[in-house]
Amino acid sequence: MASSIVNMPLNVGTIRGLDCRTYGNLKNTLPIQSSPSTLPHRRMLVLKASINDGPMKKMGRSDAECEAAVVAGNIPEAPPVPATPSSPAGTPVVPSLDINRRPRRNRRSPVLRSAFQETSLSPANFVYPLFIHEGEEDTPIGAMPGCYRLGWRHGLLEEVAKARDVGVNSIVLFPKVPDALKTPTGDESYNDSGLVPRTIRLLKDKYPDLIIYTDVALDPYSSDGHDGIVREDGVIMNDETVHQLCKQAVSQARAGADVVSPSDMMDGRVGAIRSALDAEGFQNVSIMSYTAKYASSFYGPFREALDSNPRFGDKKTYQMNPANYREALIELRADESEGADILLVKPGLPYLDVIRLLRDNSPLPIAAYQVSGEYSMIKAGGVLKMIDEEKVMLESLMCLRRAGADIILTYFALQAARSLCGEK
C-alpha cells in the first residue's frame, strides 16, 4: 500500500480544506501521525493510497484545474520518502568523511553502471579463426576443446552459418596442408587451386558479404615448419621469403579475400605485398599486419591444430622478444609507412601494454589475437571448476577492447557472441 506524507501545521482549517473526493481513491478518513520529537509544533498528514495496487484513476481534470488545486494547497498524493535502511548491529557510528568526490556514486545501480560504461563488446568486434583441412569430417583438436579442423566443403559452411546467426561476420582461415604438398620453399602457398583459395571461393559464393581474412606465411606449407625459407645453415631468408609471400597474398586476393594478414614477421613484407596487390589490381584488398608478434609460448595448441611445429630450432630470429616493449614502435612505424591498414598484436591478454602502446601511437585500427594458449587455459580452468568460464571469457575479451583493440581474433567468437546475445 502506498502512502504520502505532507508536512503542514496541524489545524482544522487546513484539514477541512482538503477535498478527499478530488483525490481519486483516497479514503475520507485521513490518519494523522506525529512527526519526530525534534519538531513538536508540527505534524505530518499521511495520505494513504488505495489498498488496490492498480494505477490511479484519472479524474478528467484539465491542466489548469490541476495547477489551481496545487496552488490552493490541495497537494496530490505521492508515496513517502523511503526510510533510511538500518545498519547491522555493531556498526560503528562515525562522522561522514569530508570528501567531495565519491566515485561509487556512479556505480550504485546497474543502470548507472551501464550508462557510464566506457568500453563495449559486440559480436561485430570478433574475427573467428577457423581451421580447415581437405577431409570431409570435422576432426577435434585435443589441445583446444571445442575447436575442430573443419572439412572445407561441409563443416566450415555450417560453422560460418552459426557464427553469422549471432552477428559474427568476419573469419580468418588457417589450413592444415597435406605433408606431401609441403616443400622447403612453400610453393603450395600460392597455388590458385590450393585449399585456401578454393575455400575462399566457396565461402564467397555462399556468403558474398562475409569478410574473409587470410594468413600470409609459409609455415603451413613449409617442410621445415618455419614462416620463411630456411638456408642450409638454419638462417631464415628474409627477402626471398617476402617474394613468396607476395605471390601468396595475390593468390588469396584473386580468390576473393578481403584482408590479407602477413604473420611471418619478415622485414619489408608489408610494403612489398602492398605493391604486389596494387600491381594486380587489388587496391581494395586490405593488409592486416602482425605488427607485434612475439616469440611466445602461448602458441602451442595452435601448432598442434595445424601440425606446423618447426622441424628444428625456434622462431626467435624473426618473432619479437617477449621482454621488449619499445621495439613494437619500430614495427608500428615500418608497417604504417609501408601501407598497412590494420595493426595486430599477438598474443593478446599477456600483451595488453603493447596493445595500448600501439593504440596511443597510431590512428589505424588495432587488432588483438587471443591465441590458442589463452583460449585453452580458460577452457581448462572452466572444466576443472576453478573459474567461471563464461565470465572469465567475457572479461578477457573486454580487457582486450579496453586496452585499445578494435577487433579481436578469438576462438571464443561464436561462444562469446551467443553469450552476448543471451543464448546458452
Among the options 176, 182, 315, 346, which is catalytic? 346
Whether the Cβ atoms of residue 228 and residue 185 lie closer than 8 Å to each other: no
Place of cell 479524474: 59
- How many CB atoms neighbour CB 386 within 10 A? 10
Q: Phi/psi zone of residue 156: left (φ > 0), alpha (ψ -120 to 50 degrees), beta?
A: alpha
Coil, strand or helix: which one is 107?
A: helix
CA–CA separation, 290 and 369 (whole Å) = 9
Give Cα 386 distance to the centre of its chain: 23
346 counts as catalytic: yes
Note if 293 is an active site residue.
Answer: yes
For 400, which DSSP code? H
Burial class for 217, CB neighbours closer than 10 Å (0-12, 13-18, 19+): buried
The catalytically annotated residue of 176, 182, 293, 379 is 293
| C-beta pairs of 308-316 under 8 Å, 24+ apart in sequence | 308/219, 308/220, 308/225, 309/225, 310/219, 310/224, 310/225, 310/226, 311/223, 311/224, 311/225, 311/226, 312/224, 312/234, 313/226, 313/234, 315/226, 315/227
User: Using CA atoms, how far apart are residues 154 and 137, in angstroms rounded to an integer?
Assistant: 8
Is 71 in a helix, a strand, or coil?
Answer: helix
Q: Indicate which residues carry an active-site annotation.
A: 293, 346
